Amino acid sequence: MAWLVVRLAITVSLLYTASAVFEDQVGKFDWRQQFIGKVRFALFDTHSQASKKLLVATDKNVFASLNSRTGDLFWRHVDKTGPEGHIDALLMYGQDAVVVVGNGRLLRSWETTVGGLKWEAVLDTGSFQAAALVGVQDFVKYVAVLKKSAISLHDLSSGSQIWVENLPDSDTVQYQTIYSGGNGLVFVLGFVPNSHIVIVEYKIEDGEIMKKKSVEAAWMSSLENSCAVISSGILLCVDQITQSLYTLPLQSAEQTEMRQIHLQTLDLEVASGFPPVLTSTQPNPAQPPLAEFFLQLSPDHHILLQLKDGLIAPLRDFNPSYLAAFATSGEKTVAAVMSPKNDTACSINLFSADTGRRHLDTTIIYHMDPNGGKPNRLYVHAFLKKDDSVGYRVMVQTEDLTLTFLQQPGRVVWMREEALADVVTMEMVDLPLTGTQAELEGEFGKKADGLLPMVLKRLSSQFILLQAWMAHLWKLFYDARKPRSSVKNEVTIDTLSRDEFNLQKMMVMVTASGKLFGIDSKSGTILWKQYLENIQPNSIFKLIVQRTTAHFPHPPQCTLLIKDKDTGLGSLYVFNPIFGKKSHISVPALPRPVLQTLLLPVIDQDYAKVLLLIDDQYKVTAFPSTKNVLQQLQDTASSIFFYLVDTSQGKLSGFRLRMDLSTELIWEVVIPTEVQKIVAVKGKRANEHVHSQGRVMGDRSVLYKYLNPNLLAVITESTDTHQERSFVGIFLIDGVTGRIVHEAVQRKARGPVHFVHSENWVVYVYWNSKFRRNEFSVLELFEGAELYNSTVFSSLDRPHPPQVLQQSYIFPAPISTLEATLTEKGITSRHLLVGLPSGNILSLPKMFLDPRRPEVVSEQSREENLIPYAPEMPIRTEWFINYNQTVSRVRGIYTAPSGLESTCLVVAYGLDIYQTRVFPSKQFDVLKDDYDYVLISSVLFGLFFATMISKRLAEVKLLNRAWR
């Protein structure tokens, strides 16, 4: 019976919280963009002429098929992260794409039209070296995989292993390449550095070693880029030091030495310090490669050469040229070369591979984005036109991971910004007011200059507003007559303005490649992008909004702190988040490594918040550092504190600012690193508002919340990972005084720990290694029935420790990230947004994570609307805010308040980006989407007319009565 009551109570409480999206709301205020990452392999499907497929494999372990006409994804397979899912090679033949995954662990064949897996073969262990298709008598039947110490041959149609052979002397010889020319033999090429090359010849049928020879090559240090097989099995190598080309026929028995051809005899020279690169092409794996090849001598110098009768002759010299690539269509092989045209554009031309002659009318002009990076990869799709001439399209990948697909004469067919697959941090910035609104705002900002001018100014601005309103009405009327599809107005940077509820914002995204994006949150359109050059791959970024749009006419201002992990030095990049323009504000030089930053609520005379940068000598640099700011800092220095967490020493230290911008250490907490290590520290979000200072109890008394704005949640994990002895610790530390407010230890638990620290609670998730399940734990802090000081909060004056309540729950899924919703005034109830590895985002009401949930239901707990305690946390599919729009590898969730108290803006980012709005307490402050305006207004008008008519009737009746 009691259980029934409990269930009933849960059901009733769920009725309040169930908030799924209706079918007709799909896509109304949410959008998703899917990305693939940096392309490592790209192959065009040349199987049929009309094919639109483009197969790509990326560094994010994604294997996908793109529509080459639109750039959309046909299908996408996201493999495991890290080396386990790393795609080593991509080969394509006909309808099949063969992929080697996980350092040669798996060999998979995919059907390319729908992306179905045809077969998968598990390979023997050993680090992957190379893979190649092997053909016999004009048919490609096999795929050969070369490992460090073995070679195996697999059937292309079934994946079954034909044979596997150990390589001779694999402990001394580095085998790196496979070559097969369709003559029943497979050649494996290896070398011993600075000594000799080893060529092993296998028979395709049974893997028997036909021949093994070693050739003297004392100059050789690497095989991979400097060697290629051309023209009926001739190994060609280039060496930078000797400035020579070397040739060797693979099959000849008599030649035991490589033939040296000095580059000087060809009037060529390799640029110093540049490893030369050889590029050959083998259009059909069952036939020998072409005799033509590219030799890259310097970053912008390619040359097309031909081997004919043992002689190497240059066909065409491309100087300057950035990129060159071969492409084959039917019997014709062409070479596309990208050369600089002027400062902002490159031209791509097509040349016939066998003669080096330029094809007429094949120029594609590629305009380089002034805010982007240089092109670094060129993929060419050649096709035969009706008149048998060769047409082509190209895909260019730039340093900032933009994929641009071009066709003649330079039309951009589509673009993909793959840098967005790796968003590091982001902020949402309010859009500026429209010109008219700003006009009105500006009027209040100006100084009064007499009564009459003020009145006139007011009148004129009101008139402008009226005009704008009339124009708006006219536009509405005009648009209403047009069909709905054509009305859809494009968002551009010029038409940007804040909407009435501030639901549309600018998403400023910082990506790992160093490219910044400004994205309209309503439509997902990229409004600006800026590539920061010379960013080290593992830099740390911190994005700070110093000035919002609220201070017209001062433009909003964002500051990006970029810290190079190797040198430790940081630099600041200041920009306008709405237009993406770099600000011309003088930025302080940072000669010493920056340890942390601190954004103060202190503003300078231009309304920019002051940013303090703490260097490794604990000296502070202020930005901006005007006289005004320094004066303010001196006044408030005694109340500015900061903390630093050094995970390597397990030390938390607190500092106080001195007048002269130096600091003094005031506290230190050491958590011994032998036992446990600090994994994460979080304070509270600066823009968080808490509306209610306490919780109402069943007896209508108040339990006041312990709202310490200086509280830090420190999570530690034990260094001992044995499942019986591992633990997760949580410390709540006051960041001003260093006092440990609370500590808790979760035994037999381990990370990764995800947690949220907000209001008076901390929610954290860990893995319980004893019961092998994920658990949620919630800590809530209360002051008690009395507030100690209701007007001011000072950490230095808190004599009473808070009451701490804790409860834990079982969560039936692993999680990848955790965040809490945030609203303007903090009146709306909170939800937790849980990113699941499945790509769903769960909106979990905080009321389920409430340590006051009673085990036994009482009158008072019912009065308080507390759900009875149940150890299992439910996951209901209606709570998935992104229904079927899953976000692959969700890494972070960003929440921002909107102008409506009920609405919180959510951006989930990972491999994909998903933006939506959530309404934790439903939309209590706006009319519903399906609100029946027609009914209401018709009833209103009906009543109005009924009143009018009955009034008239009553008058007539009264008059008649008076006459009687």
Partner 1 sequence: MTSPGGQGGGALSTRGGAATKRMKWAIELSLGNSRSRSDRQSKDGDVMYPVGYSDKPVPDTSVQEADRNLVEKRCWDVALGPLKQIPMNLFIMYMSGNTISIFPIMMVCMMAWRPIQALMSMSATFKLLESSSQQWLQGLVYLIGNLLGSALAIYKCQSMGLLPTHSSDWLAFIEPPQRLEIMGGGMVM
Whether the bond into 285 is cis, omega within 30 of 0:
no
Tokens found for residue 193 = 């550095």
DSSP classification of residue 799: -
Which of 104/654 has CB closer to partner 1?
654
Binding part of the chain for partner 1, among 74-82, 321-329, 693-701, 886-894 by CB under 8 A, reads 693-701
Which of 318/642 has CB closer to partner 1?
642
Q: How many residues bind partner 1 (CB under 8 A)?
A: 53
Q: Measured from the CB of residue 565, what is the shortest distance to partner 1 in angstroms?
A: 9
Residue 363: count other Cβ atoms within 10 Å of its Cβ: 15
Q: Measured from the CB of residue 646, what is the shortest distance to partner 1 in angstroms?
A: 5
Which of 45/604 has CB closer to partner 1?
604
Inter-residue long-range contacts of 84-88, CB under 8 Å, 24+ positions, other chains counted: 85/61, 86/61, 87/40, 87/41, 87/57, 87/58, 87/61, 87/63, 88/128, 88/131
Which of 325/614 has CB closer to partner 1?
614
Binding mask 283-322 for partner 1 (x = CB under 8 A): ----------------------------------------
DSSP classification of residue 356: -
Q: Please select the residue that binds partner 1; options are 81, 355, 492, 701, rule is CB under 8 A.
A: 701
**Three-class HEC string of 478-493:** HHHHCCHHHHCCCCCC
Helix, strand or coil for residue 11? helix
Which of 546/710 has CB closer to partner 1?
710
Return d(Cα 96, Cα 113) in angstroms, integer: 9
Residue 421 host element (H or E): none
Which of 456/796 has CB closer to partner 1?
796
Which of 297/822 has CB closer to partner 1?
822
Q: Please select the residue that binds partner 1; options are 246, 643, 706, 809, rule is CB under 8 A.
A: 643
Q: Please select the residue that binds partner 1; options are 641, 706, 848, 914, rule is CB under 8 A.
A: 641
Return d(Cα 382, Cα 500) in angstroms, integer: 51
Q: Please select the residue that binds partner 1; options are 690, 847, 857, 875, rule is CB under 8 A.
A: 690
Binding mask 920-939 for partner 1 (x = CB under 8 A): --------------------
Q: Please select the residue that binds partner 1; options are 164, 468, 644, 744, rule is CB under 8 A.
A: 644
Q: Please select the residue that binds partner 1; options are 598, 813, 870, 875, rule is CB under 8 A.
A: 598
The verdict on 707 binding partner 1 (CB under 8 A) reads yes
Binding mask 709-728 for partner 1 (x = CB under 8 A): xx------------------
Binding part of the chain for partner 1, among 82-90, 384-392, 446-454, 687-695 by CB under 8 A, reads 687-695
Whether the bond into 409 is cis, omega within 30 of 0:
yes
Q: Please select the residue that binds partner 1; options are 125, 221, 344, 639, rule is CB under 8 A.
A: 639
- How many residues belong to the chain? 964
Near partner 1 in 659-678, by CB under 8 A: 678
Question: Which residues, in sequence order, are CB contacts of 956 under 8 Å at separation 6+?
Answer: none
Which of 44/706 has CB closer to partner 1?
706
Q: Measured from the CB of residue 757, what is the shortest distance to partner 1 in angstroms?
A: 13
Q: What are phi and psi of 106, to 5 degrees?
A: -130, 145
Return d(Cα 199, Cα 395) in angstroms, integer: 36
Question: Which residues, in sequence order, are CB contacts of 908 under 8 Å at separation 6+?
Answer: 833, 835, 841, 882, 887, 890, 892, 893, 894, 914, 915
Binding mask 357-396 for partner 1 (x = CB under 8 A): ----------------------------------------
Which of 154/798 has CB closer to partner 1?
798
Q: Measured from the CB of residue 889, what is the shortest distance to partner 1 in angstroms?
A: 23
Binding mask 599-638 for partner 1 (x = CB under 8 A): xxxx-----------x---------------------x--
Q: Measured from the CB of residue 393, what is the shortest distance to partner 1 in angstroms?
A: 44
Which of 128/731 has CB closer to partner 1?
731
**Cβ contact 653:667 at 8 Å:** yes
Closest CA to 506 of 574, 558, 542, 552: 558
Which of 463/793 has CB closer to partner 1?
793
Q: Please select the residue that binds partner 1; options are 645, 671, 741, 818, rule is CB under 8 A.
A: 645
Q: Please select the residue that binds partner 1; options are 225, 355, 693, 860, rule is CB under 8 A.
A: 693
Q: Measured from the CB of residue 902, what is the shortest distance to partner 1 in angstroms?
A: 18
The verdict on 764 binding partner 1 (CB under 8 A) reads no
CA angle 412/417/419 to nearest 5° reads: 150
Q: Measured from the CB of residue 761, what is the shortest distance to partner 1 in angstroms?
A: 16
Binding part of the chain for partner 1, among 530-538, 680-688, 810-818, 949-957 by CB under 8 A, reads 680-688
Return d(Cα 876, Cα 843) in angstroms, integer: 9
**Cβ contact 783:706 at 8 Å:** yes
Near partner 1 in 784-803, by CB under 8 A: 787, 789-796
Binding mask 557-596 for partner 1 (x = CB under 8 A): ------x------x-----------------------xxx
Near partner 1 in 506-565, by CB under 8 A: 540, 542, 563
Query: Left (φ > 0), alpha (ψ -120 to 50) or beta: where does 104 sit?
Result: left
Question: Which residues, in sequence order, are CB contacts of 474 under 8 Å at separation 6+?
Answer: none
Return d(Cα 488, Cα 737) in angstroms, integer: 56
Which of 349/596 has CB closer to partner 1?
596
**Cβ contact 368:345 at 8 Å:** yes
List C-alpha distances in Å: 845 to 13, 16, 375, 879.
Answer: 10, 10, 48, 9
Which residue bears the tokens 């380089």?
Answer: 368
Bridge partners for 897 per DSSP? 904
Burial class (CB in 10 A: 0-12, 13-18, 19+), 778: buried
Q: Measured from the CB of residue 713, what is the shortest distance to partner 1 in angstroms?
A: 12
Which residue bears the tokens 């032998």?
Answer: 674
Return d(Cα 533, Cα 535) in angstroms, integer: 6
Q: Measured from the CB of residue 753, what is the shortest distance to partner 1 in angstroms?
A: 14
Near partner 1 in 70-109, by CB under 8 A: none
Helix, strand or coil for residue 446? coil
The verdict on 681 binding partner 1 (CB under 8 A) reads yes
Q: Measured from the CB of residue 641, what is the shortest distance to partner 1 in angstroms?
A: 5
The verdict on 692 binding partner 1 (CB under 8 A) reads yes
Kindly compute the dihedral angle of the four CA atoms of residues 614, 615, 620, 623, in this order, to the nearest 10 degrees. -70
Binding part of the chain for partner 1, among 78-86, 89-97, 706-714, 866-874 by CB under 8 A, reads 706-714
Residue 951: count other Cβ atoms within 10 Å of its Cβ: 10
Binding part of the chain for partner 1, among 50-58, 579-587, 705-713, 948-956 by CB under 8 A, reads 705-713
The verdict on 491 binding partner 1 (CB under 8 A) reads no
**Three-class HEC string of 321-341:** CCEEEEEEECCEEEEEEEEEC
- CA gyration radius, the chain: 34
The footprint of partner 1 (CB under 8 A) covers 540, 542, 563, 570, 594-602, 614, 636, 639-647, 678, 680-681, 683, 689-694, 696-697, 700-702, 707, 709-710, 735-736, 787, 789-796
